[in-house]
Structure formats: C-alpha cells, structure tokens
Structure 1
C-alpha cells in the first residue's frame, strides 16, 4: 500500500541531537514553541518515541511531562497527541471517552467505525494491558440500546471479507424492509448488516439499495434513526464508502459554524497524519468549497495553527 501520509520519517535522524534540541527549547525563561513544533512535525511517530526514550536516558526526565510543564492549551494537547504512539493514543482516547463525566459518543463512533478489524483487535489487547479492563464490557456498561449493540458488534472485529454475491440483493431488501417500507424502523437489521459485512460488500449493497429505493443509504438512515445510533450507522456507511472522505467530513464539521471542536480536530490531524492525510485533503477539496489548509488557517491561531498546517502538509487551493 502506498504511503498517503503527510508526515514522513526524517532522513538523517539523530535521537540524541533532537532530545538536546528539545531540552534547549524548554530551558530558561520562555519556551521556544516554534523550535518544538518544527522539530516534532518533521519526525515520524516512531522517531518521536525514540526521542522520548533518549530524553529520559540523557536527562532522567519524562519528555511529555516536561512539554506539558512548558506548553499550554490546545497546542499542548496537540503536541502530547503527536508524542503518543498511535495505538496508545486510540486506547487513551477511548478510555477518556468512557471514563470521563458522561460518555463522549463522538470518540467511540469515530474510532470504532474507522479502524480495521485488525486495528480493533490490537486496541482491545492494548486496552486490557494498560487498564486491566475489558474494553467491550466498559463500552457496554456505558452505552445502551442499538447503539450499544452495534458498538459491541464492531468490537468483535469479525467482519466478513470480500463480496458475497448471493447476499447483495437480499441485504438491500432487508434494509429496505427494515426502514423505508415499514412504519417504525427495525434497527436491528441495520445494526446486523452494517456491522458484519465487509466494506466492499456494503458498497455493492448501497448501490443495489439505491436502484431499488431511489434513496442513498445515508438518506434513509437520517430519516429512520436518530441520536447516537444514527451517528454511528452513518459513520459505518461513510467509512465503508471511503475512510478519507469520512475524515474530511469530520474535519469540516469540526471547524464549521460557531466555535471549533478542537478535540476532534486534534484527534484526526494527529492520528491520520501518517496514514491518509493526502487522501483526506483531496476528498476535502472535492466535497467542500475550500481546502483543508485554508479552513485550518481561518479557524485556528498561533503555534497551534502552525503545527496543524504542518501536519496538513500543503494547500490544495
């Protein structure tokens, strides 16, 4: 698979030199935020992990704690996200979403709908190792109804693979019968089909559904369901169609309107910068009247904006 991230490993990487440079940037009066952000956005995550280990060896201190002590606000949150290994970052985000005051459904939806079954398995194992808890039990204890059922299905990470030709029409019919055709909605059919079939298979089902009903799957879900379940079903459908397009949309709505949803903005920019940010940018430009770069520029400020723009990696104006 071709690399579609914007952040690449630094060619002449030297963990000791980087650790020294960061120490220097935090020394004395005032912190050199610019030096910190330029350095960290020019290293891959695995290189940042090496810097973190080297920093501890050289100075006997924890780099993340030192950064937290020097930085503040959204910029600090973004830098800490970049300094966290991807799997650990997903695990921490999920834990905070469940264990905080109230449940942050947005985080559960975004991570569990967009990660591959293999990644979900790794998340479950890392979560158990980190917290000695069962992620499925924690999620189930914190959610309810069909929303909970679909999350539990996604946590099984047992999606079928490939396209089952013999099931395309019957799946489309089942979804039609469960929604548009009947009074009231049979959410369970949506949950079972969308939670268990492969992305390739679902794309075929959506196109059969469109031919059969004249509706896009998303339109029917919006009409037939509500609340957190609707958000999760839509995320699953959108990720089956295109994960980068799903994240492009997530970023757009995080910045559109009054006030920016910085938590979402940080989470997506940090976690996709080495995965598919180039594709997200392309989809963003296709779907919306501006580029991701220009929207970040107009919606954020200071070192936080500088770091986000470096993660974005270019303008598609």
Structure 2
C-alpha cells in the first residue's frame, strides 16, 4: 500500500534486511545500559523508514511492556530527545503535536502553523485532523478558531479542512477566470475582497495555481506576490505568500525555512527538527538541492 506520507524524493528508504525484533533489542540495550549509547540509537532510527520505525515501536512494546517513545523521553534530553521521539511518532500524530505546540502557551507560533498547513496534502490534512482529535479530544478547527482571528483564521480553517484539489490536470479556462477574479478582488478594486483570495489560493491545486499566476501576470502586468504584498497585511499576507511559494516550488519554500532556522545567533531547532523529520521521506533530496542552489553551500554543512 502506497503511503500518503512517502514520496519519491526522500533521503530515507526502507532498510533492506529489516528485522523489527533485532532493532528493538538493540535499542533496548542502548537505552538500558550504563549511560546511553546514542550512536546505536542514531544509526537505527535515522536509517529506517517511518513504516519500519512504527514496527520497531510495536515490537518494543510487545517485548518490554513499555512504549519506546516513553523510554526515549525518560533517557534522553534536549533537542536530541525531541528528534528521536519525533522519529518514532506516526507522521500524522507528529504533525498534530507540532500544531498543538504552535498554539500553546502565550502567543501563537504563526510560522509553524503556516508551514504545516500549506505544505501538507489534503489527504494528509484529513489524517492530521483525525490524529489531533484522537490525541487532544478537541478538533483542530476549534483550536485554530480560538487562537487566531479574521481572514487569517478563515484561510487556516479552509486549509485545515483538507479540501484543496489534488488532481494534476490543469484547466486553462479556469486559470483565466480565477486570475481575473483575483485581479478584480485586489488591484482593480478600491479595498480588497479577501474572501476571493482565500477561496482560490486555499482550494485550487498547486499546478492549477501556477497556471493562474501566469495568467494573472498577463492581466495585471504584476506578479501575484507583489499584489498580495500591496493589498494585504499581517499573518494573512504571510499565509498567502507561503501558498504562492509552495505552489511554485514547495522544496524551495522549505529550504528557505531551513535556512532561516539555521542562520543567525541561535538555531531554531523546533523548525529544523520538524522539517527534517517530516520531509525525510517525501522531498528532502529536492530541499537539499534547492538549499545549495539558493545559498551556495550545502544543507549538510549548514547543519554541521
């Protein structure tokens, strides 16, 4: 069964000759010994696919009567702990937890919300919403509603609904029509009709949006990004720009996020962990290539 969490451009593949019981035992030894054997943990957990890591966790629970993630939590600390726990968490649950974390406490981490909701497919969003409800007994929509407001909230809720079209077929007539609607809702109008932007940018497929942006340029002689910057503001503007960026090139969008997380005085480990773990089986090869192309040095050396 092809998983909706696995793409063809990941850095991690199924490990050949995989044995969940052998791995579970090695991990148990690494945790239980005098002092933790981090090398073993790294070599196993970063070289098995998500599906394989879930099987290891199952085997671990059966053999030792404890959850692997709880043992890792109890034994490790800091960012390394977060990363190892992330690796043994099912992807939909991991995203649900990241979303919860970005809405917890004082202030909302809008960047994280935007990044997750714009880069996940509709099918992934549906799984994330289910996982969110299972873990927190609250709907993702309710939490988004209470933590955000205005057009930003409306657009996030539309994305969280997972209704974006995912067909790869593009409709030229629709692109022309949508481009005109966007032009009439923004540049060509006194005041802006935000709802039209939300409707089109949150529901059309990425290939369709790309074509729409080309048509938009023909009509208005401007890039859609420039119109959004000129017409809108705040987190709503950030969200729509993120959607445009993703529609044009998702790996480049995520490469930019990684670059931002890695440069400057402190590292944003929260973002670094999230992108590395969540994209490792989807498009991390492409993200790596985009990183090198845009910044002139490798993601590997930046992390190092």
Asked if TM exceeds 0.5, the reply is yes
Question: 2:215 pairs with 204, 208, 213, which one?
Answer: 208
Tell me what 1:29 maps to: 34
Paired residue secondary structure (1:180): coil
| 8 Å contact kept, 2:7–2:283 | no
**Can you list the C-alpha shifts for 1:103-158, whole angstroms capped at 9, x where unaligned?**
22222211111111111112222222332222212211221000011112112322
Looking at structure 1, the residues matched to 64 and 160 of structure 2 have their Cα atoms a distance apart, in angstroms, of 41
Q: Displacement, 1:168?
A: 2.0
Give the 3 Å change call, closer, same or farther, for CA 42–159 of structure 1 in structure 2.
closer
Question: 1:169 pairs with 170, 176, 184, which one?
Answer: 176
Q: Displacement, 1:281?
A: 1.2
Q: Tell me, which stretches of 5 or more residues in structure 1 are unaligned? A: 298-317
Tell me what 2:129 maps to: 124
Question: 2:79 pairs with 54, 74, 80, which one?
Answer: 74
Q: Displacement, 1:185?
A: 3.4
Tell me what 1:269 maps to: 276
Looking at structure 1, the residues matched to 134 and 74 of structure 2 have their Cα atoms a distance apart, in angstroms, of 28
Matched, 1:251 2:225: no
Q: Displacement, 1:2?
A: 6.4
Q: TM-score normalised to the size of structure 2? A: 0.90
Matched, 1:228 2:229: no
Matches within 5 A, 1:125-164: 125-160=130-165, 161=167, 162-164=169-171
Matched, 1:93 2:98: yes
Question: 2:185 pairs with 168, 178, 182, which one?
Answer: 178
Tell me what 1:14 maps to: 19
Looking at structure 2, the residues matched to 184 and 260 of structure 1 have their Cα atoms a distance apart, in angstroms, of 40
Range 216-225 or range 79-88, more displaced: 216-225
Paired residue secondary structure (1:242): helix
Paired residue secondary structure (2:32): coil
Q: TM-score normalised to the size of structure 1? A: 0.87
Tell me what 1:280 maps to: 287
Looking at structure 2, the residues matched to 243 and 60 of structure 1 have their Cα atoms a distance apart, in angstroms, of 41
